[in-house]
């Protein structure tokens, strides 16, 4: 997908441009051969190209945010308890990883 096609789809979905795009951390322009070829997905084919520059959209999940010491803010109108439990479970998972790598937990207190 070309950048202009992505922008057109985004503008069609949100003409005002005020909605947030879920989980996007940042975008970057990379050389075509950097970190593997660009995979172009069409309706009926996939093309790999390593000679044209590409745009990479980097996302972030909860474990990555916890590992980066980012603050987790829950401003939810519904199911807040469910997400508090999810964050607690993710912190426990992060503690397991830290125990294997560093021999100590990252979070002493979990919620």
pLDDT score of 11: 97
* pLDDT tens-digit series, residues 39-90: 999 889 999 999 999 999 999 998 898 888 888 888 888 888 899 999 999 9
* Model pTM above 0.75: no
- Cα–Cα distances (Å) from 89 to 75, 85, 94, in that order, read 19, 6, 9
Mean pLDDT over residues 4-31, rounded?
96
Mean pLDDT over residues 6-10, rounded?
96
Dihedral-angle region of residue 16 (phi above 0 means left; psi in -120 to 50 means alpha; beta otherwise)? alpha
Rounded to whole angstroms, how far apart are CA atoms 97 and 60? 18
Structural domain boundaries of the chain?
3-59, 63-102
């Amino acid at each position: 997908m070309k950048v202009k096609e992505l922008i057109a789809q985004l503008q069609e979905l949100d003409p005002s441009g005020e909605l947030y795009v879920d989980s996007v951390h940042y975008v970057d322009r990379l050389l075509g051969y950097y970190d593997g070829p660009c995979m172009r997905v069409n309706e009926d084919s996939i093309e790999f190209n390593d000679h044209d520059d590409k745009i990479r959209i980097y996302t972030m999940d909860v474990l990555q945010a916890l590992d980066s010491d980012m603050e987790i803010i829950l401003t939810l109108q519904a199911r807040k308890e469910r997400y508090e439990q999810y964050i607690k479970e993710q912190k426990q998972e992060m503690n397991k990883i830290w125990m294997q790598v560093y021999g100590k937990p990252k979070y002493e207190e979990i919620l």
